[in-house]
A and B are shown apart, each in its own frame.
Chain A
């Protein structure tokens, strides 16, 4: 080792704690991004590819009735111009029978044209293609149907008013989304047999779909928008494979968004840690720097000297960060292996390593430039007066702040592939920093003018204004980073509450729709368990307080809309899972007119309150009801819920069906379905067993990952906190020694330091929590589109935990001094 290196090494050892925190901050800054920038990219790509396959098309038009002629015309024109290909699909539920009518079964019919599917593949047992076998008079069915009806390939099946021959067995179908709400075995029918089925005339519930493949992918969005102008917004949907979002897709999108957000924030937090640790380290070296300058070293020399030191520490940090990041990435793939397509697996991509190193270097440069630049303002007189205020110019700080915001914006925009989101985030963070700064300024101003009687407290307050004590920057750093961490914590808790806890192990897995009111008793006997029946009356909301519902506007909202057909029910009591938030009882006894209790989620679609009048249309019949109460659901779960609940005497006689949900052991499901179909062929069963199991497991894993990354950001916070508190250590040491020299007991010194740190922790913690709630609420509402819960208890815990941490760190940082005899320290101090 050369002499220079040895000296640098000794400088590091002399400030080993700062150096360690610095190295950790650098490595943390790139760990998370390295870990999932590659991961997120490949998952997103596979998701998008999957999404197209999931819908078998680029654009999907859907309706419950035939498409209006304008829309059909628009599609025909584009097809004629060669810009798209389209294919029609009709799906029904219908009972199919063996020819001898011995056995029957509710099946999901899908009538397709040869062009189906545009993406993905219908896999047949024989290995042939669907278009090849599905000719007029033939059908392809699921194995389940053969098993239930005791049939084989080659047999005939009665479908609607015609008899068709089973020619093959289908094993996979692209646009059958994760089994969600898929019930009854699938039957593929050729479009040539559509009329022969005679089901359309019969008025069966039918779903019309038009799948569209776009010739030029660039045209996707414009074409979708074009079709939308022809669609009747009340009944016709226009989706692209990108916009159509299943629940799982939505969660995965949110999941990746959140991970990236956390990654970027961890990077910024770590960056702040880098800056403040280096600042503290250089403050510790001020004496050395002043001596160097006295001996004739130029600012450039000093800067270069400490740049080398920074580069050495940074280099170690970057290597460590990339290594840990790759390890984390490997772990991510391992943890999610079951849920990812097999083609996705961990790879040592040199580009990923290079990206990590590049990010690390940029972060290192950006966040160390200011403290290194400020070295030039250190004057040699500081040899005589250690606490001499340093007169630094303001523009480098502003410039550095601007560069950081720009970098942050670029990073966000790049990783989120969305400049707008980047802009919002930068504005948000900028706002948080500004508020932190003004609040710190204000509270310090107030504290300085406060007169305190108790000596320990007074000394603690004085301590905040110690010369050279960077209380204000420390508070800004602390408040900002706490706000970010608290916000991450709150967002994670909300995602968890909304998505993960809604899949408990005992959630109902079978849903029964369209039970006739007179079948209730028989049904209950058949399923042989306690059943809660929910009467369902289908209706539309037409007006609130005589103001007609704006269907256009309702449908543009991201959440649920008042424009769709609603399921009403009637009962006299609140459910266990409900609570009133407005109104004293479910219904008012003093009102004569019809009443309705509304779930609070409806208020998000349209403002309304107790006493307002809602107009409904139930199968053509109008009904006006006054809102008697507002309910909310306690905890999210899969149990059935109704937006509108009426007293029995209002709706008891309306045309209705009955709905119920049951928990049935998975191995009993098939048997129950068979018995049910025989007894009540009109009842539809929705089997969510597999879906639920898979989802619950997926959610659990994802939530664990979210939690780990949240924990990482907390680690980042602890690092910053440590570095920030440590930054004030040198001054504190002197003070502690003087207290002791002057005869103060250790207890007094402890009190002063604890009070001082407590002041900082309380001020920054409370403000940070307020800002965090604001930010998390906005993110949950605007980005994730989920309901926001405040988690009051956990919030208090955050502030308390922070206070505890700050105080402990502060005490640890001062512990060494307390243990030493003052003489030892006084002797050491003249060391330099």
Chain B
């Protein structure tokens, strides 16, 4: 079953009256439970594509369906519940809210939903990534790897169907990167979440069901082995 479908996506930026075409007719379909890796050279538009697929930004042209809903021209506020419940996000540079503790960061999406068991769930997730002891630490008191594991918990707390990750290990050394990756894959398995991940890392790509490559604004599909 198709969870995510993008059709003929185009994205252009206008800088000083000059039009830059970053994506030029990109189409992609992701089935439920699938693990898709997007690669490509730097500046090829991977992050741009991810922001479009996840509804963080609007495409210049083209259509995107998530879970049967067309979102390419949905309003900010119409997208909010989708981001809250259906989608999870992990970023290269963590993006924890600096004023919230690890626990509060994780609870936040659940609190938006007014879930009574927000704290319970958050603590449980923290335990699975082995950070129970750091629950009350502010982000500035955590290491990079710890921050990313907290961010992973935060992405998972509302049990999304679709998890987007943009270079989740890009800012980490290989040991920490490996740890985060292991936990990410463990979560994916445990919650049967669909994963769309951007990376340069061939090791991660090797674990994917499918790898697609962006170049010159277009997508080259290739099957994983």
Chain A interface (Cβ < 8 Å from any Cβ of B): 3, 7, 10-11, 13-14, 287-288, 290-301, 376, 379-381, 383-384, 828, 830-832
Contact with A along B52-96 (1 / 0, CB 8 A): 000011000000000000000000110011111101010101111
Interface of A (DSSP majority class) = helix
Q: What are 23 sample pairs from A and B whose C-beta atoms fall under 8 A apart?
A: A13-B99, A14-B99, A287-B95, A288-B98, A292-B97, A293-B76, A294-B95, A295-B108, A295-B109, A295-B154, A296-B81, A296-B84, A296-B87, A298-B76, A301-B112, A379-B76, A380-B83, A381-B51, A383-B56, A831-B98, A832-B96, A832-B98, A832-B139
Give the shortest distance, in Å, between B46 (CB) and chain A (any CB): 11
Given A288-B97, A380-B83, A384-B47, 13 additional A-B pairs, CB 8 A: A3-B104, A7-B99, A288-B99, A293-B83, A294-B56, A295-B84, A295-B112, A295-B154, A296-B109, A297-B84, A379-B76, A380-B56, A832-B139
- Docked Cα-Cα span, A384 to B57, in Å, equals 11
| CB atoms of A7 and B100 under 8 A apart | yes
Q: How far is the CB of A375 from chain B (nearest CB, A)?
A: 11
Complex contacts, A301 vs chain B, CB 8 Å:
80, 112
A10 and B83 within 8 A (CB):
no
Q: How far is the CB of A722 from chain B (nearest CB, A)?
A: 23
Interface centre among B51, B83, B95 (most CB of A within 10 A): B95
**Contact at B51–A384, with CB atoms within 8 Å?**
yes
Interface contact B140-A830, CB-CB below 8 Å? no
Instruction: Determine the residue in chain B with the shortest Cβ distance to A388.
Output: B57
**Nearest CB on B from A327, distance (A):** 34
Contact partner of B97 (CB less than 8 A), chosen from A380, A830, A832, is A832
Residue of B nearest to A828 (CB): B140
The distance in angstroms between the C-alpha atoms of A381 and B108, with both chains bound, is 19
Cβ of B171 within 8 Å of any chain A Cβ, yes or no, is yes
Are A299 and B76 closer than 8 Å at their CB atoms? yes
Please name the 8 residue pairs, one residue from A and one from B, whose CB atoms are nearest each other, closest first: A296-B84, A10-B99, A296-B83, A298-B80, A381-B57, A11-B99, A380-B56, A295-B109
Chain B residue with Cβ nearest A830: B93
B56 & A379 in contact (Cβ 8 Å cutoff): yes
State A11–B89 Cα separation when bound (angstroms): 23
Interface residues of B in 167-211 (CB under 8 A from A): 171
Cα of A172 to Cα of B135 in the assembled complex, Å: 82
Instruction: Kindly state whether residue B144 has any CB partner on chain A within 8 Å.
Output: yes
Chain A residue numbers with a CB within 8 Å of B57 are 379-381
Would A14 and B98 be within 8 Å (CB), given that A294-B56, A296-B85, A297-B112 are in contact? Answer: yes
Query: For B140, what are the chain A residues with a Cβ–Cβ distance below 8 Å?
Result: 828, 831
Q: Which of B57, B87, B139, B158 has most A Cβ within 10 Å?
A: B57
* Nearest CB of chain B from residue A15's CB, rounded to whole Å: 9
For residue B212, CB closer than 8 A to chain A, the reply is no
CA distance A10 to B101 in the complex (A): 10
How many angstroms between the C-alpha atoms of A14 and B140 in the bound complex?
A: 12
A283 to chain B, nearest CB (A): 15
Chain A residues near B83 (CB-CB < 8 A) = 293-296, 380
The answer to whether the Cβ of B3 comes within 8 Å of any Cβ in the partner chain is no
Instruction: Give bound CA distance, A299 to B85, whole Å.
Output: 16
Query: Does chain A have a CB within 8 A of B138?
Result: yes
**Least distance between A543 CB and chain B CB atoms (Å):** 70
On chain B, the residues within 8 Å of A828 by CB distance are: 140
Query: In the complex the two chains form, what is the Cα distance from A295 to B171 in whole Å?
Result: 21
Q: Are A291 and B97 in contact (CB under 8 A)?
A: yes
Specify which chain B residues have a CB less than 8 angstroms from the CB of A295 in the assembled complex: 83-84, 89, 108-109, 112, 154
Shortest CB-to-CB span from B151 to chain A, Å, is 10
Across the interface, which residues of A come within 8 angstroms of B82, CB to CB? 296
Cβ–Cβ < 8 Å partners of A830 in chain B: 93-94, 144, 171
Is A296's CB under 8 angstroms from B99's CB?
no
Q: Are B109 and A300 in contact (CB under 8 A)?
A: no
Q: Which residues of chain B are near A831, meaning CB under 8 Å? A: 94, 96, 98, 139-140
Q: Do A297 and B80 form a contact, CB below 8 Å, given A383-B56, A830-B144?
A: yes
On whether the beta carbons of B144 and A296 are closer than 8 Å, the reply is: no
In the docked arrangement, what's the CA distance between A783 and B45, Å? 65
Q: Is the CB of A832 within 8 A of B94?
A: yes
Within 8 A of A (CB), among B14-51: 47, 51
Residue of B nearest to A378 (CB): B76
Which residue in chain A gives the minimum CB-CB distance to B57? A381
Contact, CB under 8 Å: B80 / A832: no
Q: Which residues of A are found within 8 Å of B87, using beta-carbon distances?
A: 296
Residues of the A chain whose Cβ atoms lie less than 8 Å from the Cβ of B112: 295-297, 301
CA distance A379 to B140 in the complex (A): 25
Give the complex CA separation of A130 and B108 in angstroms. 84
Report if A376-B76 is in contact (Cβ < 8 Å); known contacts: A288-B99, A381-B57: yes
Q: How far is the CA of A832 from the CA of B93 in the complex (A)?
A: 7
A566 to B61, CA, bound (A): 86
User: How many Å lie between the Cα of A288 and that of B104 in the bound state?
Assistant: 13
- Chain A minimum-CB-distance residue to B87: A296
Which residues in A have their C-beta under 8 angstroms from that of B96?
291, 831-832
Residue in A294, A297, A298, A376 with the greatest tally of chain B CB atoms within 10 Å: A294
Whose C-beta in chain A lies nearest to the C-beta of B50? A384
- Nearest A residue to B86 via CB reads A296
CB distance from A396 to the nearest CB of B (A): 16
Residue of B nearest to A15 (CB): B99
Q: Which of B51, B80, B93 contacts A296 (CB 8 A)?
A: B80
Are A291 and B80 in contact, with the CB atoms below 8 A? Answer: no
Inter-chain CA distance A144–B80, complex, in Å, is 90
Known A291-B97, A292-B108, A832-B98; judge A383-B84 contact (CB<8 A): no
Task: Give chain B residues whose Cβ lies under 8 Å from the Cβ of A376.
Answer: 76
For the complex, give the distance between the alpha carbons of A11 and B83 in Å: 24
Q: Once the chains are docked, how many angstroms separate the CA of A296 from the CA of B158? A: 11
Chain B: minimal CB distance from A290 (Å) = 8
Given contacts A7-B104, A300-B77, contact A381 B139 (CB under 8 A): no
* A797 to B86 Cα, complex, angstroms: 62
For B103, the closest partner residue in chain A by CB is A3
Which residue of chain B has its CB nearest to the CB of A384? Answer: B47
CA distance A297 to B93 in the complex (A): 20
Q: Are B99 and A294 in contact (CB under 8 A)?
A: no
Nearest A residue (CB) for B107: A3
B138 nearest in chain A by CB position: A10
By the criterion CB–CB under 8 Å, are A383 and B91 in contact? yes
CA distance A356 to B190 in the complex (A): 59
CA distance A335 to B47 in the complex (A): 67
C-alpha spacing A3/B82, complex, angstroms: 26
Bound: A213/B94 CA distance, A = 82
Minimum CB–CB distance for B109 against chain A, Å: 5
Complex CA–CA separation, A831 to B87 (angstroms): 23
Q: What is the bound-complex CA distance between A296 and B86, given in angstroms?
A: 10
A-side contacts of B97, CB under 8 Å: 288, 291-292, 832
Between B80, B89, B139, the greatest number of chain A beta carbons within 10 A of the residue's beta carbon is seen for B80
State in angstroms the CA–CA spacing of A223 and B51 once bound together. 78
- Contacts A10-B100, A295-B109, A295-B112 hold; do A832 and B56 have CB atoms under 8 A apart? no
The answer on a CB contact under 8 Å between A383 and B77 is: no
Specify the chain B residue showing the minimal Cβ separation from A297: B112
For B109, give the chain A residue with the smallest CB separation.
A295
CB-nearest residue of chain A relative to B154?
A295
Report B-chain residues with C-beta under 8 Å of the C-beta of A296.
80-85, 87, 109, 112, 158
Q: A residues within 8 A CB of B94?
A: 830-832
How far does the alpha carbon of A832 sit from the alpha carbon of B95 in the complex, in Å?
4
- The residue of chain A having its C-beta at the shortest distance from the C-beta of B51 within the complex is A381
Docked Cα-Cα span, A801 to B131, in Å, equals 54
